[in-house]
Chain A
Amino acid sequence: MTYRIVHRTTYDYSEPVTVSHHSARVNPRFTAVQSRSRFSLRISPEPAVRKNRTDYFGNRVCFFAIQEIHSRLEVEAVSVVSMTASTPPALTLSPVWAEVAELFRDPVSPEVVDPYQFCFDSPMVRTAPELADYARESFPAGTPLLVGVAHLNQRIFRDFKYDPVATSVATPLEEVWARRRGVCQDFAHLAIASIRSLGLPARYVSGYLRTHAPPGKERLVGADASHAWFSVYCPSVGWVDFDPTNNLLPAEEHITVAYGRDFSDVSPVSGIITGGGHHDVKVSVDVEPLGEIPEDDDAELREAMDQ
């Protein structure tokens, strides 16, 4: 399936901004099941400085600075992404979780260095003994790793209430845990913290989710939102995604933009402004299915990647 995604972020400032610096991680990654044929990023006002780089985790990031006085900033990313169907991993065939934890307990062979990035506390995810206890209910002795994770994924879905007003991007995990409610970002953080508390590697994925209109209704343009889920490293399989907000294993309808240790590594648009007073942010996302479109030719693909 191919999608055209429009992700628009608008800031309205109550007072003029004299200078601002931003970073945007809105350019979808290439993965084993996902390829991006087009990407464009429109920024208004025109930035004085604009640079594309790859960050520590391999995400595409655009740094830009606006040096003229402005009171509104618009960032619009348009991408065309194709997803290929893949066979879901056989959960029961994965290795026993305790063996995987043991692998990451002490220095190991070089080829598994990378997952070590995702085993430990990060700015928004802190391991805790209570979280280990919570997770352990899904991991009785001898449980295959992915079976345990799928079980945990389901429990978070059941134990926590989806509540878009209960939390903000800055709500600490402790509060989500205590109040048992939150949004996709909180559930992903919670799952990651629980899994890391067992000594296993887990990372945060930011992206988009295709939404379906209720039967008989038109799809609402722009009503979609950024989404987030998590991924677990399983030896011999690789990284396997789980979506605790919807209790499923992401497939063709989850479009990956970036991944990192937690939200703070992959925040879609962030910035530091001088002046500005209060600001209002509006985010709109539109995921439009284009059907099965053959991949664009290589030249165009390369061009997109070079951007």
Chain B
Amino acid sequence: MTEATVKSSAAEQRRPLLQRYRTEPGSYDELLGADGRVRPNYETLIRGLEELGPDELKRRAETCRRLVHEQGITYNVYGDPLGMERPWQLDPVPFILGAEEWRKIEAGLIQRAQLLNRIMADCYGPQELIRSSWLPPALVFAQPDFLRPLHGSQPGETCFLHFYAADLARSPDGRWWVISDRTQIPTGTGYTLADRLVTSRILPEAFREGGVRRLAGFYRDAQAMLSELAPRRTDRPRVVLLTPGPFNETYFEQAYLARYLGYSLCEGQDLTVRDDRVFLKTLSGLEPVDVILRRVDDDFCDPLELRNESMLGVPGLVEAVRAGNVTVANALGGGLFQSPAFMAFLPGLCRHVLGEEMKLPSVATWWCGQKSAESYVAEHLDELFVKPAFRSRLRGVDPSAALTAAAREELLRQIRFQPHRWVAQEKVELSAAPSWSGEGLVSRPVALRVYLVATPDGYRVMPGGLARVAPDAGGRFISMQRGGAAKDTWILSDGPVEDVTLLSVAGQEVELRRVGNNLPSRLADNYFWLGRYAERTDATARLLRATLLRFSPESTGHAFPLLEPLLNTLVAQGQLPATEDQPELRTNAEALEAGLLAAIFDPSRAGSLRSLAGQLQRLGMLVRDRSSNDLWRVLRQLDDRLATPTSSLVMLAGDAIGVLNQSLLQLASFHGLARENMTRAQGWRFLDMGGRLERAIYLCSLLNAALHSPEADNPSVLEAVLDVADSSITYRTRYNLMPNMAAVYDLVLLDDTNPRSLLFQFNQLVKHFEKLPRERENALPSAGQRVLIECVTRLRLLDPRPINRLRSRWHESDVGRVLAETLRDLPRLSDAIAVNYFAHSTISRSR
């Protein structure tokens, strides 16, 4: 073979884009053929990239990075404190395969999916393959992933493997091999779609001209298949996507897919089993669920019959499956077939079960549960990649490092003790594909994950997939956890490209609806807190801005008493440490300036603006499948702005004011988007209720602090109050005089035309309460309504005028009393809402 030593031919080397491109000796090169010329499948792309020129290419690569960031495409890394929401690494250069080659891969994978599905049906059914010695008993019975409670649970069912994915690698001779089977939860279809949207946007010319096949058909097939699985005869079966939650590594794509496919994203605690049926807990009661698309590992899906300690599942789910009242996709139990040990038996099983030869080979595999394989592995330990055969706590051997004598001895001892636990595979030499280096193209090892969906007409293969490249040349293992990058995969069409869209099928009658699907209680909870945190962030920014504006490092001692109410509110709300802890904040201008800057930027301070923005973004993530991308983008930008202060420079108070102004504008766009773009459904209602409640808390807290100040009637203090309450202009146009205490307190407390006043917040809350489900079922007001009525009545009866006659002890006035009582009642109101709508009783277990 000359392939191994090929350099790009002289002609290709003159192409500036390929100047740095070197093929890897001993591996197949996806870009350059044996003659050193660009392969036909890459020709359109390379020409397109050359036409763009180096500067434009760099700009596009930058756009790629920005789009990934703005769309919040992330990946969580377990056990890494900084790992939450690691940005997804997307290589802007797509991976490209021609139509002819793809057809072979498709045929091979369809056959493999059929075969695995048949084996699964047998293992969870008659077990004929075990009895007739086609499958060794230990291969099934020794696996923790063989879930016995599922055996015989779906008699007559023929489809278990609804989704299937395979990881492929290309060997130096150009053949494709399956290196792993994903039968549990074939992850990555969401990332693949997100990658496509970004890549086709940054390389629209090449994408159009290249005749790239579209992905949407795959998702449409998936939707149709899932609706078809509903056991209940209904026009609109309810499909939910069961997620392990936001800490899961692929949470992004779960939320993304749920939104794209139009399914509720649920955690186990959102679902409940009653009368052997699965229901979604929503604000207005229990709603039946027909199909569960699961992203929770099967053994975690039901703590009653499967893994008892699971907090992610739904108690009683297995029995509901058995009763035929719900379909889970993939069927519970599918994790069994991810064991690489099966690969050693697939060729024989394929002949026996399907009567065919395998069309696409697996990487050579030896399962030590067989005596002959065990001795082969012991003799060839250094040439093979030895790893656990089943999911377990055992550690595999790092295939790139040579074994030390001691490690070798230990490994052999472990294999001898329980041989069936070990499997060995040939070390795979990955092919290399062009990848963007920042300057030009370089070659990087590549592997490809391909997805299949079971339709009523058989398995269909997504024309594309998730290609992944190693971070450097010569790598043998690619993992997003360890710095790999993803690539969009382009499958070229040799005919016209079909145009598919997911949204609706033309000509189909649609039932018009005004109310969206009922909101799960947990989401209502998240919206409520999103509203609270958005307002908390807003109020904090206003407080900090008002403080900084009234303060300069030259401020002398007498400025401090006037700042007192603002500083006390900041202490009460957790932005500044208590005076006892840091007395110099009240006497030393420099200390105060540092303290205020920390209150904005310090991520380790729980109440700082930076922390609040982080919280806000996390809450935004929890409702992401239900809200617009713009809403999310605004929160992301807010977080970014506060996360990257010009930390290397000395931050001046003036700069900080600029940052606060920008933050407030961002929050204004958040509120604007929420107001203008969200339908007035329950999600919006809880968002707004959270905001109103929080605004009331901050306002009361500020006014309470102001009344306790000995300078409460000082015009500067009153102006600061008006400023923070965003009511200065209104005051000036209405009174045209120096701030007068009674007039100021009337405007910010009692004026129900002022959207910033306390009464206005309560009036809005009353309106929301009237529209909540289950609030009107009883003759008597609910606990929440009671608190509201008390608050509103107190305010309505309040006469603020006598306060002007006081010269001190303002907090003992009627205004002060009402404020104190309202401050006491607000948490009660929040609790009443939580108890009535979000109560997720904890789940416990007994034996």
Contact = CB atoms under 8 A, between A and B. Distances in A.
Interface of A: 11, 18-19, 21-23, 48-49, 51, 53, 55-57, 63, 65, 67, 105-107, 109-110, 113, 116-117, 119-121, 123, 127, 129, 132, 169, 264-265, 267, 269-277, 279, 281
A77 B417 CA distance: 43
A279 B846 CA distance: 8
Q: Is the interface of A mostly helix, strand, loop or mixed?
A: mixed
A107 B127 CA distance: 14
Interface stretch (B38-46, B135-143, B718-726, B827-835): B135-143
A113 B31 CA distance: 51
Interface in B97-153: 127, 130-133, 136-138, 141-142, 144, 148-149, 151-152
Given A63-B319, A272-B304, A113 B131 contact: yes
11 contacts: A51-B319, A56-B151, A65-B274, A65-B276, A65-B316, A113-B131, A117-B141, A119-B141, A273-B843, A273-B845, A273-B846
B492 to A, nearest CB: 45
Contacts of A129: 413, 417
A56 B150 CA distance: 9
Contact of B138 (A21, A116, A132, A269): A116
Q: Which 7 A-B pairs have the closest CB atoms?
A: A120-B142, A272-B315, A116-B137, A56-B148, A21-B316, A275-B841, A107-B136
Nearest to A11: B846
Contacts of A120: 138, 141-142, 420
Given A55-B149, A63-B319, A116 B141 contact: yes
Nearest to A104: B138
A23 B304 contact: yes
B275 A270 contact: no
Contacts of B319: 21, 51, 63
A49 B304 CA distance: 15
Contact of B130 (A48, A65, A113): A113
A22 B273 CA distance: 12
Nearest to B369: A106
Of A11, A53, A123, A274, most B-chain CB atoms within 10 Å: A274
Nearest to B305: A23
A237 B846 CA distance: 38
A208 to B, nearest CB: 18
B736 interface: no
Given A106-B370, A113-B137, A129-B417, A67 B843 contact: no
Contacts of B148: 55-57, 265
A48 B841 contact: no
A215 to B, nearest CB: 36
Contacts of B370: 106-107
A127 B842 CA distance: 35
B699 to A, nearest CB: 37
B308 interface: yes
A269 B131 contact: no
Interface in B792-847: 841-847
B418 interface: yes
B663 interface: no
B201 interface: no
Contacts of A56: 148-149, 151-152
B845 A49 contact: no
Given A120-B420, A273-B843, 5 more contacts: A21-B273, A56-B152, A113-B130, A121-B142, A270-B846
Contacts of B130: 113
B340 interface: no
A23 B274 CA distance: 15
Contacts of A119: 138, 141-142
Given A117-B141, A127-B418, A132-B417, A67 B844 contact: no
A193 to B, nearest CB: 12
A123 B309 CA distance: 12
A95 to B, nearest CB: 20
Interface string B142-175: 1010001101100000000000000000000000
A267 B142 CA distance: 21
Contact of A270 (B137, B151, B304, B420): B304
B274 A19 contact: yes
A21 B274 CA distance: 9
Nearest to A120: B142
Interface string B271-306: 011111000000000000000000000000001110
A110 B137 CA distance: 10
Contact of A49 (B276, B369, B841, B842): B276
Given A116-B138, A127-B418, A129-B417, A107 B305 contact: no
Given A120-B420, A264-B308, A19 B136 contact: no
A153 to B, nearest CB: 23
Given A21-B273, A21-B315, A132-B417, A107 B308 contact: no
B410 to A, nearest CB: 11
B371 interface: yes
Contacts of A18: 841
Contacts of B322: 53
Given A110-B131, A116-B137, A271 B274 contact: no
Given A18-B841, A49-B276, A63-B319, A107 B142 contact: no
A265 to B, nearest CB: 8
A271 B845 CA distance: 6
Contacts of B371: 105-106
A66 to B, nearest CB: 11
Interface string B379-412: 0000000000000000000000000000000000
B276 A271 contact: no
A129 B421 CA distance: 14
Nearest to A270: B847
B845 A272 contact: yes
B846 A49 contact: no
Of B136, B316, B369, most A-chain CB atoms within 10 Å: B316
A276 B127 CA distance: 41
Contacts of B418: 127
Contacts of A57: 148
Contact of B843 (A23, A49, A109, A274): A274
Nearest to B322: A53
Given A23-B304, A273-B846, A48 B149 contact: no
Contacts of A65: 273-276, 316
A119 B325 CA distance: 35
Contacts of B844: 272-273, 276-277, 279
Interface string B296-332: 0000000111001000000110010010000000000
Given A55-B149, A106-B371, A19 B272 contact: yes
Of A11, A55, A132, A272, most B-chain CB atoms within 10 Å: A272
B841 A274 contact: yes
Contacts of A106: 136, 369-371
A132 B138 CA distance: 19
A207 to B, nearest CB: 17
A33 B19 CA distance: 83
Nearest to A169: B847
Contacts of A11: 846
